[in-house]
Amino acid sequence: MIHFRKKILAAGLASAMMLSLGACGTSGDTDETQSQTAGQAAEGETAASGDGKILIAYFTAAENSGVDAVSSASYSMVNGEAVGRLQAIAEMIQENTGGDLFSIRTSVVYPADGRELIDYAAEEQDENARPELTSQIENLDQFDTIFVGYPNWWADMPMVMYSFFEEYDFSGKTIIPFNVHNGSRFSGTIETIQELEPDAEVVEDGFTINERDVPDAAGDVADWIEEIGYPCIWASTGT
Ligand SMILES: Cc1cc2nc3c(=O)[nH]c(=O)nc-3n(C[C@H](O)[C@H](O)[C@H](O)COP(=O)(O)O)c2cc1C
């Protein structure tokens, strides 16, 4: 009988470890593959630090401008590769948390030219526009924690982020903001997110970085993930 119980306990521990590793492994999942890697969190469960499945959603103009990253005004060179700045930070967060990446896409084709983009974004803001979303989070229920990244545009989030927060109800989940800026840091966007998602816990200690520091941000991102208590098992054990 004791032997039998031990066996059950061992099996339980093994599956708990697999779940834990699954939630933490750097799977390289993208928005296309999320639905095949459904996690185990039941609907309504709230996030326990580092225990639940993590989504890393981000918007970068570089992936929404109809040109390759290197032709966009919104890229940085990271490890010799041209990537959108928010994508670069999102990937660093993924390396440290093992979360799934999700690129927020819109039918709007943003100007690749920096000056044109500045004017275009100002118009969108004046019109209080809601750009149409063309990428969808599948099985939102499986995620307890949503890292959400966006650039600072005109001391606010890009309007597509309003489309995003109006599309999804993150009640009971933890939202962790991160952004890239050119001096204004978050402006008032963390408060705005809390207003848009009143029943989510919005972490105020988000990660914010100047655009010129993005290529060298890996260490700061890792430190921040540690501070807020989300390092995955690979990152914390070095395995
Ligand atoms: C339309 C637009 C408006 C911006 N407004 C601000 C601003 O108000 N404050 C600030 O610090 N940076 C501002 N920036 C700089 C961006 O936050 C920064 O370049 C960021 O890296 C853009 O992210 P992305 O490269 O992924 O698009 C603005 C950039 C753009 C394109």
Domain contains 14: no
Question: In angstroms, what is the span from residue 181 Cα to ligand 1's centroid?
Answer: 5
- Quote the pLDDT of residue 52: 74
Residue 178: CA count within 13 A, CB half-sphere: 30
- Quote the pLDDT of residue 74: 64
- Quote the pLDDT of residue 38: 26
Atom of ligand 1 nearest to the CA of 151: 23
Contact 74, 65 (CB under 8 A): yes
- Ligand 1 binding pocket includes 90 (Cβ within 6 Å): no
Domain contains 168: yes
Q: Evaluate if pTM is beyond 0.85.
A: no
- Quote the pLDDT of residue 82: 73
Domain contains 6: no
Amino acid present at 202: V
Low-confidence ranges of the chain (pLDDT < 70): 1-51, 67-75, 233-239
Structural domain containing residue 164: 35-228
Question: In angstroms, what is the span from residue 158 Cα to ligand 1's centroid?
Answer: 9
Contact 204, 190 (CB under 8 A): yes
Domain contains 236: no
Domain contains 1: no
- Quote the pLDDT of residue 65: 81
- Ligand 1 binding pocket includes 111 (Cβ within 6 Å): no
- Quote the pLDDT of residue 29: 43
- Ligand 1 binding pocket includes 115 (Cβ within 6 Å): no
What is the rounded CA–CA span in Å between residue 169 and residue 158?
19
Which residue's CA is the closest to the ligand 1 atom numbered 18?
Answer: 181
Backbone angles phi, psi at 106, to 5 degrees: -135, 160
Structural domain total, the chain: 1
- Ligand 1 binding pocket includes 168 (Cβ within 6 Å): no
> 32, 16, 69, 21: which is closest to 235 by C-alpha?
21
Atom of ligand 1 nearest to the CA of 182: 11
Question: In angstroms, what is the span from residue 168 Cα to ligand 1's centroid?
Answer: 24
Look at the chain and count its residues.
239
Find the CATH number of the domain harbouring 128. Answer: 3.40.50.360
Q: Which two tokens stand for residue 37?
A: 């890697």
Domain contains 42: yes
DSSP codes joined into one string, the chain: -HHHHHHHHHHHHHHHHHHHHHHHS-----TTTGGGG---PPTTPPPPTTTSEEEEEE--GGGSSSS-GGGSTTEEEETTEEEEHHHHHHHHHHHHH-PEEEE--BS----SSHHHHHHHHHHHHHTT--PPB----S-GGGEEEEEEEEE-BTTB--HHHHHHHHH---TTSEEEEEEEESS-TTTTHHHHHHHHSTTSEE-SS-EEEEGGGGGG-HHHHHHHHHHHT---HHHHH--
What is the rounded CA–CA span in Å between residue 142 and residue 163?
21
- Quote the pLDDT of residue 40: 28
- Quote the pLDDT of residue 72: 64
Domain contains 13: no
Domain contains 220: yes
Question: In angstroms, what is the span from residue 152 Cα to ligand 1's centroid?
Answer: 5
